[in-house]
Amino acid sequence: MKFTGKRYLDYTSFIKSTFGERVQKISLDIGFSCPNRDGSKGYGGCTYCNNNTFNPDYCEPSKSVKLQLEEGISFFSKKYKVQQYLAYFQAYTNTYSDIESLKKMYEEALNIEGVIGLVIGTRPDCISDEVIEHLSLLSKKYFISLEFGVESTLNKTLEKVNRCHTFEETQQAFSACKNKGFHLGAHLVIGLPGETKEELLNHAIEVSKLPIDTLKLHHLQIVKNSVMAAQYKRNPENFDLFTSEEYIEFISEFIGILRPNIIIERFISETPSDLLIAPNWNKLKNFEIMAKIDKKLEEKNTFQGKFYTEN
């Protein structure tokens, strides 16, 4: 394994080695829905979801892509010495439209000065050959990253949280996007109801088989105005939420099993305190959790891929 000053491949080092400087993501909300919200496949969305937990204030679907990007760039250019940006189509399912509409929105983003690429969040059941080919074409000139919400590798869990797609569909989506010139990312939620520790660790084995470049890990949080908030209120005994100490210990094991050339983009979700119900980690920030994970990996003398076996 090639170390980057850490015992895992971190996203910051990847960005700096790729672009030679800090590159800032600008989040966008373009007003899309999801097939498990609008009745195409189901209603209510994922039981854990409330998109307000990660949308910045400038993200309003009533604003154009151009305006959201310009406001985001104005904000971050004052905060950091940043000259290059990635347009992050983040909220809901950002390939869930006809190809011409998508082309127009992606083009609008790429025409903004300083924007050098796109990061597109979507679902594995909402990607078409047309979209894949268009992103492949764009990747010849821009940095393109397509991120799929995998969330779990267990169909029983995907059904329980109302994802309305299977892990087999996830595998098929990644297979269709493999070797197309753009980066592939995956999101996993760690600690969804009913999953044992053995099953959670097996997620590392299963996602390592996918042709992913990056991985985002999110610990399960119960947030206000979600279906899961009502479930948690009725039956809290059905939820086995991690303490921060338990999660850090778990991640140190998970990393050891993970394929060593996967870039780990994040370890936790940071929900605004006014929306968070549980767990209470005493407002620990992402960088504090990362420092604790670094320390735990050193204590255990382990690193990403130490226990990885190719299948």
Residue 38 DSSP label: B
- For residue 82, the model assigns a pLDDT of 72
Residue among 91, 71, 73, 93 at smallest CA distance from 83: 73
Between residues 164 and 256, which one has the greater pLDDT?
256
- For residue 310, the model assigns a pLDDT of 86
Band (pLDDT 50/70/90 cuts) for residue 4 is low
Between residues 164 and 304, which one has the greater pLDDT?
304
- For residue 111, the model assigns a pLDDT of 96
- For residue 78, the model assigns a pLDDT of 82
- For residue 3, the model assigns a pLDDT of 45
Beta bridge partners of residue 121, listed in sequence order: 147
- For residue 1, the model assigns a pLDDT of 40
Q: Tell me the C-alpha distance between 46 and 40, whole Å.
A: 14
Helix axes of 167-177 and 129-138: crossing angle, nearest 10 degrees: 40
Q: Indicate the residue type of 231.
A: Q
96, pLDDT greater than 90: no
pLDDT in tens, 173-211: 999 999 999 999 999 999 999 999 999 999 999 999 999
pLDDT above 90 as % of the chain: 72
- For residue 259, the model assigns a pLDDT of 98
Q: Tell me the C-alpha distance between 230 and 119, whole Å.
A: 32
- For residue 277, the model assigns a pLDDT of 94
Least confident of 1-5, 13-17, 152-156: 1-5
pLDDT in tens, 262-311: 999 999 988 888 899 999 998 888 889 999 999 999 999 999 999 999 87
Q: Tell me the C-alpha distance between 262 and 243, whole Å.
A: 26
pLDDT in tens, 54-78: 555 555 666 889 999 999 999 888 8
- For residue 93, the model assigns a pLDDT of 77
Domain ranges of the chain: 11-300
DSSP 10-35: BHHHHHHHHHSS-EEEEEE------T
- For residue 164, the model assigns a pLDDT of 85
52, pLDDT greater than 80: no
Q: Tell me the C-alpha distance between 154 and 168, whole Å.
A: 10
Q: Residue 164: left (phi > 0), alpha (psi -120 to 50), or beta?
A: left
DSSP 89-133: E-SS-TT-S-HHHHHHHHHHHHTSTTEEEEEEEE-TTS--HHHHH
Give me the CATH code for the 11-300 domain, please: 3.20.20.70
- For residue 304, the model assigns a pLDDT of 97
Collapsed DSSP state (helix, strand, coil) of residue 80: coil
The stretch 4-20 carries a mean pLDDT of 90
Beta bridge partners of residue 120, listed in sequence order: 89, 146
- For residue 273, the model assigns a pLDDT of 87
- For residue 40, the model assigns a pLDDT of 82
